[in-house]
Chain A
Amino acid sequence: MAISNIWVFAQGNNGAPTTATLELLTKARTLGGSVTAFVAGDGAGIASTLGEYGAAKVYSTGDLGGNLPGVAVSAAMQEVINAGDAPDLVLFPQNYEGRDVMSRLSVALDRTVLTNNIDIAVDGESVSVTTPVFGGNTLVTTTFTGSGPFLAAFRPKSFPVEAGGAAAGEVVSAPVPDLGTVGSAKIVAVHVEESTGPKLDEAAVVVSGGRGLGEASKFEMVDQLAKLLKGAAGASRAIVDAGWVPYSMQVGQTGKVVKPNVYIAAGISGATQHMVGMKGSKHIIAINKDQEAPIFGIADLGIVGDVHKVMPKLIEALQAR
């Protein structure tokens, strides 16, 4: 049996599919099966775009009514599967919702999951995925065994986004069934942390700070430089854990993956945890006082020096222009 029925876990934001959704659809349509988008939320409004990127069919749960997606969407998926439309392969984005839905579905179907992937290959009925380990220096390819559905999650920016599908997908309602107490987790309020300037994972320039800044108040320099370069400010896990800046600014394996034109690392030594999230940047500049810091091994321009001296002079020079 070939891999003929491929599902993509799809999400919308402000009336459009998320970038992660479009990345997965673009890849899914090269894998040789029919592609279905399973939308966590209202699918009708985004069906035309989903179709354009390759979804011939769109399942829509409709508004989740405050339910966390994990239990709710996996239950909706299971209803569809029980009704006879079982996928061979389901692609998830490696984000909060994707992970939760995939985990719940994994238990419901008693199937394994493979996460943190950056690539997928289908050969007949065999599905293999590739994961970077040890800071991205080693690539491990794993093949699913046993029977499907095969469940796999992919890191953001693993695939380019290209339109090329056809007309709007056919929209089929896939409502969330009654969940009982297992579905008792409800969102009662939403808080958006306002940020100015471009989004971290979309900015052409990213300036990130790490433990080498010494103290939380020095992050101001990172912010200032990012603003001057019309970029976004990011951070290493060390200073997020220390509470200097919010988690939404974390670049790395457990944070955001960024691939800007220019990445400036200030006071970041380059732990593998961090490098996985930024080594795809086109150009990397690093400032660190330790000349043995691993970050210099991947930097196009490395400055061995004190961030507290180099950064203020750099900011001053840019302000003077």
Chain B
Amino acid sequence: MNVTVCVKQIPDPALPGELDPSTNALKRDGKLILDESDSYGVEMALQLVDKAGGGEVSLVSMAPNGEVSGLRTALAMGAAKAVLVSDPELAGSDSLTTAKVLAAAAQKLGQADLIIAGTESSDGYTGTVPEQMAAVLGLPSVTFAKSVEVDGDTLKVNRQTEDGYDEVTCSLPAVVSVTAGVVEPRYPSFKGIMAAKSKPVDTVTAADLGVTPVGWAGANQSITQVAQAPARQAGEVVEDDGEAHLKIVAFLENLKVI
């Protein structure tokens, strides 16, 4: 079974985010890393291929400046190859354009039995790309999967809901988005890291894939204002001297909560 995984390479979430003052879009020109929420999808794909007893895991990604460091991490985990769409024209693309680009990149790899994505990225968190990609490809989809099993031509998913989960079945090929924590992502081994260096990454542009218009021109939106939210003031901060719990009791009493 062949599985394609969408991975995003994002600015390190440990660093404070910034808006580009000229476009008001998120700055993504520094070093990028594999979005942790995509490592679950990569792991899931590797396990499914392993269980099926054959096939391979491929990656698709869209990133500025030919960035591959996040892709190399996923290749080191065990993915076989990748298509990277990198093109200055793509700056400012909305989620619909992104979905069209990733769908075209996935098609370039040939028909996969399953396409996996995270539910949303950790930097932009629009959360619509997997379902939009499924729609572009005309495939069924199951979003917010907390477990995924393949049984012949049928996909069995436990799908997160507001107050529990639903068991969902779906025909293949299909697109699923997986929640964080669905599996434990493996750490790349030294051997994996070395092997990843020579795995093929096919770098293409939006024009190569035939997707137009892209970037701000195709986004149908413009950022019209950036403002600071009214700040919340810090209150009293006390060191626990062994009796600090009484401060909390008094605070709750004062509010008539107790």
Contacts and interface: CB of A to CB of B under 8 A. Distances in A.
A301 B249 CA distance: 11
A95 B120 CA distance: 13
B17 interface: yes
A116 B126 contact: yes
Contacts, number: 249
Nearest to B236: A301
Nearest to A282: B255
Interface stretch (A22-30, A41-49, A130-138, A214-222): A130-138
Interface residues of B, number: 81
A298 B158 CA distance: 37
Interface stretch (A50-58, A164-172, A240-248): A240-248
Contacts of A181: 140, 171
Given A113-B126, A143-B221, A183 B140 contact: yes
B96 A107 contact: yes
B187 interface: no
Interface string A300-321: 1111111001110110011001
Interface string A224-265: 000001000000010011110001100001100000011010
Interface string B147-158: 000000000001
A310 B247 CA distance: 11
A83 interface: no
A272 B48 CA distance: 33
Contacts of A305: 239-240, 244
Interface stretch (B52-60, B69-77, B159-167): B159-167
Contact of A304 (B139, B163, B239): B239
Interface residues of A, number: 89
Contact of A185 (B120, B161, B174): B174
Contacts of A309: 240, 242
B222 interface: yes
A193 to B, nearest CB: 4
Contacts of B132: 103-104, 106-107
A122 interface: no
Contacts of A187: 159, 166-168
Contacts of A317: 245-246, 249
A314 B248 contact: yes
Contacts of B226: 138-141
Given A106-B132, A183-B140, A254-B125, A111 B220 contact: yes
B245 to A, nearest CB: 4
B236 A302 contact: yes
A106 B237 contact: no
A301 B139 CA distance: 51
A96 B144 contact: yes
B207 interface: no
B114 interface: no
Interface of B: 16-17, 19, 24, 26, 94-96, 99, 119-120, 122, 125-132, 134-136, 138-144, 146, 158-171, 174, 179-181, 219-229, 231-232, 234-240, 242, 244-249, 251-252, 255, 257-258
> Which 8 A-B residue pairs are closest in the complex by CB-CB distance?
A305-B240, A103-B131, A107-B135, A300-B235, A302-B237, A141-B225, A314-B245, A189-B167
11 contacts: A68-B141, A71-B140, A96-B160, A103-B130, A104-B134, A112-B94, A113-B126, A115-B95, A133-B26, A141-B226, A301-B236
